[in-house]
Structure 1
Amino acid sequence: MNKKTLFPLLFGTAFQLAFPQLAQGQDQESKIAFLSDIHLQDVYANLGSEEFKGVFNPISGKFATIRTMKSQVNSTRLFNENYFAFLSALEDLKDKGIQLVVLPGDFTDDGQPMNVLALKKILDRYSAESGMRFFLTTGNHDPVNPFGGLAGKKDFLGTDGSEQAIAGAKELFPSDQVAISDQINYWGYSEITGALKNFGFFPNEKDLFWAHPFQELDVDNYKFKKATNEATLENRVYELDNSGLFLPDVSYVVEPIDGIWLLALDGNVYTYSGSEWKGSSQGFNQAAFHKNHQLDWIRKVSAEAEKRGKILISFSHYPLVEFLEGASEEMKSLFGPQKLQLERVPTSETSKQYAKAGIRVHFAGHMHFNDTGIYKDQTTTHTMYNVQVPSLAAFPAAYKTLKTSNSSTLEIETIPLTEVDHMNEFFDLYRMEHRWLLEKKDPGIWESSILESKDYLDYTRNHLLELTKSRFIPSDWPQNLALLLQNLNQKELLEWSEMNENESEDFLQKKLKKLQISKNQTGARPNIIDDFYLLKNGDELGKKLIPESRTAFYEELMPKVNQKSYSPDQKLTREFIQFFGIFEKLYHSNPSDHFSIDLKNNTIKKIED
């Protein structure tokens, strides 16, 4: 055996352990996890309040600082159990040996000190114990206000099952019994990024390269010390619309391992009314205008990455491509442009700008959806894939992993969180709340069956069912359409699908009148509206939960509805045809569960497990 053969055998493993970045190489498999919309709230926080320290939980022996179940079932996110879901996801990553972890925004629930510091403690622990590296970008629930300020919430669970208000000052809720705590105030950019400085927002000695939009992109002469000196927030501000007001932009690009560039885009947009700052949830539709300096920087970064053969993966809290399978315009027509969070859908012009700037693969959160969106311009010169990472605080609770061993093929897998330890730790406290609501005959009482959930998948599914009933249908749906869809059975819908125009409208109108005067509306679950939200929010993950008997029914019904027509005065028929057209687009979606993207040939392919 010669020396050339002997050297790697003796020293290869030691070399890789000592210099993992240099040993990585582009031909070696790289794995990155994406955990979005954690909305972390410290469920056992030290409020430092004389008036309220939490609700004693006999199961843990600690004082719980949790929100009511009533508030959870009226919110698009959980506030409490997602704390344990986050820990379960990190344990899963530790078992899988995945060490690069991206958090695309809303990593806390409103950026209060107690929540930011709880997140820091968890990330520090997994960094120290498992060698994980975390890379964060801000969401609209992190710096709610760019410079922080007084804040409070009325919906914490009180000691008797009622709601307990907690605020930074009494004047926020003058008519309530308020517990005063500075831990509930808003932190701004400076405090949040300062506490979480080791997680991407600033240069780290472990990285091969790091830069932000307001400095020269000088890869060849990169020096950690110089980058650190230039990375202060004072050097990372932009002027808001020639107003003389300056805001931070904590975007950055980092090379944590050889060959991979992570591009973190701070898509938060704020406006100033003259007395206070207000954040927006619309994302890049507004950022493209108010923060257009980012587009120039993205062009430079993408060109540099291509020149150097780097895999460029961008991530932000906000999506860059339409995430409703091309059905958003039909949804606006049927439900209204302000319903179903449709104002958050990126326009084709927005997608075009960022695709043209050089982004090809983008991971986003914000919507709490599982989805893959594809933008292609008319010349097919620019193609961009938008991967929607689900929330850990809502259905479908899941995270994504990206695996690649070369610069042209990416494998993306969605990992559902089915089992979560300690998921039911607060259920007895919720039962106390439920008894209190019953005694007070509160109209906001929730279905106690959610406490019978067998696992986290079942729990988040039941949360979505309750949310659909209590909030989505009353606020977003045409009343008559919802009433009919909740009560027509499969046989009646198939009969309707084969009727001519006049028969169709007459059938629906007669059925509607009976339902309006009847006290025996079934509203039987599961129904088509529930399946609609399974598809809209869960995509392929949701489709798996629809029984075969119902998928067979949909596959028989949808082609028949496609053949139907209506006249302008046939409102119900029009709404039904529009709805099932939307339903069909969601049903036949792009791959979103386990798939590969070939950047060389601009193709996406489902991977059958």
Structure 2
Amino acid sequence: MNKKQLIPILFSAAFQLACSNSNLQAQSQSREIAFLSDVHLQDVYADLNSDEFKGVLNPKTGKFATIRTMKSQLNSTRLFNENYFSFISALEDLKTKGIKLVVLPGDFTDDGQPMNVLALKKILDQYSADSGMRFFLTTGNHDPVKPFGGIAGKSDFLGTYGGQQAIAGSKEVYPSTHTAISDQINYWGYPEITETLSAYGFFPSQKDIFWTHPFEEFDYDNYNFEQVQANSHLEKRVYASGENRLTLPDASYLVEPIDGVWLLALDGNVYTYSGSEWKGSSVGFNQAAFHKNHQLDWISKVTSEAKKRGKTLISFSHYPLVEFHDGASEEMKSLFGNQKFQLARVPHRETSNLYAAAGIQIHFAGHMHINDTGIFQDHRTKNTMYNIQVPSLAAFPPAYKTVKTTDVSNLEIETIPLTEVDHMNEFFDLYRMEHKWLFEKQDPGIWDSTILASQDYMEYTRNHLLELTKSRFIPSDWPENLAILLQNLSPQELINWGEMNETQGESFLQEKLKKLKASTKSTLPYHYLIDDFYLLKNGDELGKEMISEDRIRLYENIFYSLSQKSQGKEPSLNRELNQFFGIFEKLYHSNPSDHFAIDLKNNTIKKIED
């Protein structure tokens, strides 16, 4: 064979190898799924269809901004405005990475108003058409706030001159306030939301290999798209609820978007009928396990079929299925109280057991706006379930998660922080106008304007959390004396206290507290301790990276000292401080939550070092 004959053969072999590598890369990308939770999308440039209020003219864009006040944002566990841009940034990041499958585990809008649902649809339509992305949604408590919608409003939009502007569907919502009327601010219910977003998981698509719901006979082998489509109408997907046995929709579904991967969307919303209207709940599966127990039989069927057919089954819902405080929830209830720290939302062990017994092994959830990995194992059945908490794009830490499936039981999960967000400061001049207005009115709710010096989105959400901790969390959730001590004890005083016995420690703390209360100083020189607590509670490994090395050494020193002595059982300041550091230590020594691998067959989890 001469050189001229060899060249075409080599070229053909090289071309086939390149095609093979390309196909492998495409296959790898197609088996990677992104989870973007708690977007809380609000249309920041909405058409309100209102003659009374169009929004606030933003000189930067020349458009009318329909945004909430900074005062309102700093009293909420979520942002209302900048998260619009963080959502776009996340989608652009996925576009660059070539990730095509995207799950939104609830609270994809901020209260399910027409303006926000339509804004979401417009964005999803764009990325579906331009980038070939497929989106799969499930409902959260902020999507259908009420199952069949209703008249609603918000009183905290930013007004023309910096004050608040109320907007509602009726004057009756805010009868004593100047209210702009707009039907775009009313609640939509299940029928309107699922119909508008029908292309995004709630109903079957010809693009999918398989799709079904809890009220349909499970028949994978004889799957007929036309028949499934006919049986997917919302009125055929209802269950009886409450004493009156009134019917409510259940938007749960199972979909196989790519060969071998099943996505199980669980609608965990629970509503109760009170008087003449429906009311929603944010508790999650502690109530859903009772009110929607029809789901458990269906889940058992799905997990059995997945195992029989060798499918990787990934469950997702807005609500968690496993305790998400690294095993510290009971200690938190003891120290802070059952109704503090949203502890009512923590799944009971009995609840986790029901869903683990039904066969769920891995579950992605939102709702709590935290980064966490929870593991539940039933000691009787040995069933193990992993609960992956996806952070919110509207709070600290702003991040999404990806999961790669390499085979039926091995998963690689990575957390992607959103540090840089384009247009993050687009409304900052409008907030300055608001701040000036509050200052001139001597409004007691004036906020710390240093948040407007934030250099990136991560810093911005962290500053939001710091302000929220100071103005809302500490006053509402913390024992007053404990909060005072934690913000005023120096590192050396904490080290000394850690080496004292119970009697000495109590005497020291009582004397310290007495001096602090007698002092006229209002500074809190060591407020970082509570701030670091929230970094860990909300950010887990992402938050831990932000704690300085000297404070890390301080905490580890205290953990060691407390491990060497017993804790008293009688109520005292000394016991409260011991309890606090016991909780802190559990949050500190958490399961991997940043980048890690899970082997569902052998029930192992392993941190991946980048």
**TM-score when normalising by structure 1:** 0.96
Query: Secondary structure of 1:53's partner?
Result: coil
In the other structure, the counterpart of 2:471 is: 470
Q: Does 1:271 align with 2:272?
A: yes
**Residue-by-residue CA offset, 1:393-438 (whole Å, 9 max, x unaligned):** 0000000000112111100000000000000000000001101111
User: Using the alignment, how far apart are the partners of 2:504 and 2:526 within structure 1?
Assistant: 27
Give 1:244 deviation, angstroms. 2.9
Deviations 1:296-337 (A, max 9, x none): 000000100110000000000000000000000000000000
Contact 1:201 1:250 in 2 (8 A): yes
- Mapped pair 1:233 → 2:234: yes
In the TM superposition, residue 165 of structure 1 has moved relative to its aligned partner by 0.3
Deviation at 1:522, TM superposition (A): 2.6
SS in 2 for 1:170: coil
Distance 1:40 1:427 in 2: 19
Q: Distance in 2 between matches of 1:569 and 1:309?
A: 54
Q: CA deviation at 1:361?
A: 0.4
The answer as to 2:431 corresponding to 1:441 is no
1:247 aligns with 2:245: no
Indicate if the aligned counterparts of 2:30 and 2:99 stay in contact, CA closer than 8 A.
no
Q: CA deviation at 1:567?
A: 4.2
Matches within 5 A, 1:112-261: 112-241=113-242, 243-261=244-262
The 1:507/1:10 distance shift into structure 2, 3 A limit, reads: closer
**Offset at residue 568 of structure 1 (A):** 4.7
Following TM superposition, by how much is the alpha carbon of 1:381 offset from its aligned partner in structure 2, in angstroms?
2.4
Q: Deviations over 1:512-552 (max 9, x none)?
A: 11111211143135511000000000000000000001001
Change over 3 Å in CA distance of 1:568–1:30 after alignment to 2: closer
Unmatched runs of 5 consecutive residues or more in structure 2: 1-5
Contact 2:30 2:258 in 1 (8 A): no
Aligned to 1:354: 355
Mapped to 2, the partners of 1:260 and 1:114 lie a distance apart of 34
Structure 1, gaps ≥5 residues long = none
What is the correspondence of 1:58-69 to structure 2 with a 5 Å cutoff?
A: 58-69=59-70
| Deviation (angstroms), 1:10 | 6.9
2:44: which partner in 1? 43
Report if the CA contact (8 A) 1:40-1:109 is conserved.
yes
CA distance in 2, matches of 1:77, 1:28: 31
Which deviates more, 284-293 or 274-283? 274-283
Q: Residue 580 of structure 1 corresponds to which residue in structure 2?
A: 581
**What one-letter code is carried by the residue in structure 1 that aligns with 2:210?**
F
The offset of 1:501, in angstroms, is 1.5
Distance 1:442 1:28, change over 3 A: closer
Segment drifting more, 276-285 vs 557-566: 557-566
Q: 1:181-580, aligned counterparts within 5 Å?
A: 181-241=182-242, 243-379=244-380, 381-524=382-525, 526-569=527-570, 571-580=572-581
Q: Find the counterpart in structure 2 of residue 608 from structure 1.
A: 609
Q: Percent identity?
A: 72
Q: Secondary structure at the match of 2:135?
A: strand
Structure 1 residues 12 and 289, CA gap change in structure 2 (3 angstroms)? farther
Distance in 2 between residues matched to 1:245 and 1:489, nearest whole Å? 59
CA contact (8 A) 2:103 2:137 kept: yes
Preserved contact between residue 29 and residue 98 of structure 2 (Cα < 8 Å):
no
Query: How much does 1:11 deviate?
Result: 12
| Structure 2 CA distance for partners of 1:219 and 1:8, relative to 1, 3 Å | farther
Q: Summarize the Cα distance change of 1:159–1:218 in structure 2 as closer, same or farther, 3 Å threshold.
A: same
What is the one-letter code of the residue matched to 2:581? F
1:73 partner amino acid: L
Contact 1:322–1:373 (CA<8 Å) still a contact in 2?
yes
Aligned amino acid, residue 429 of structure 2: D
Structure 2: distance between partners of 1:568 and 1:407: 48
Preserved contact between residue 332 and residue 342 of structure 1 (Cα < 8 Å) = yes
The answer to whether the 8 A contact 2:104-2:138 is kept is yes
Secondary structure of the corresponding residue to residue 278 of structure 1: strand
Contact 2:29–2:100 (8 Å) recurs in 1:
no
Match of 2:3 in 1: none
> Does 1:98 pair with 2:106?
no
The secondary structure found in structure 1 opposite 2:172 is helix
- CA 1:234–1:468 in structure 2 vs 1: closer, same or farther (change >3 Å)? same
Runs of 4+ in 1 over 4 A off after TM superposition: 6-14, 566-570
Distance in structure 2 (CA, Å) of the matches to 1:205 and 1:278: 36
Instruction: State the Cα RMSD in Å.
Output: 2.1
SS at match of 2:487: helix
Query: Match for 1:147: what amino acid?
Result: F
Kindly provide the amino acid, as one letter, of the partner of residue 418 in structure 1. Answer: T
Counterpart Cα distance in 1 of 2:548 and 2:381: 38
Structure 2 counterpart of 1:389, which letter? V
Report the TM-score, using the length of structure 2 for normalisation: 0.96
> Match for 2:495: what amino acid?
L
CA distance, structure 2, for counterparts of residue 232 and residue 194 of structure 1: 10
Please tell me whether the aligned partners of residues 486 and 522 of structure 1 are also in contact (alpha carbons under 8 angstroms): no
Partner of 1:52: 53
Q: CA deviation at 1:442?
A: 1.1
Structure-2 residue corresponding to 1:107: 108
- Cα deviation for residue 7 of structure 1 reads 12
Per-residue CA deviation, residues 258-311 of structure 1 (Å, 9 max, x unaligned), is 000000000000000121111110100000000000000000001001100000
Preserved CA contact (<8 Å) 1:364 1:389:
yes
Distance 1:229 1:8, change over 3 A: farther
**Structure 1 CA distance for aligned equivalents of residues 302 and 511 of structure 2:** 61
**Partners of 2:68 and 2:80 within 8 A in 1:** yes
Corresponding letter in the other structure for 2:593: S
Size of the aligned set, in residue pairs, is: 602
Residues in 2 aligned to 1:318 and 1:247: alpha-carbon distance in whole angstroms: 19
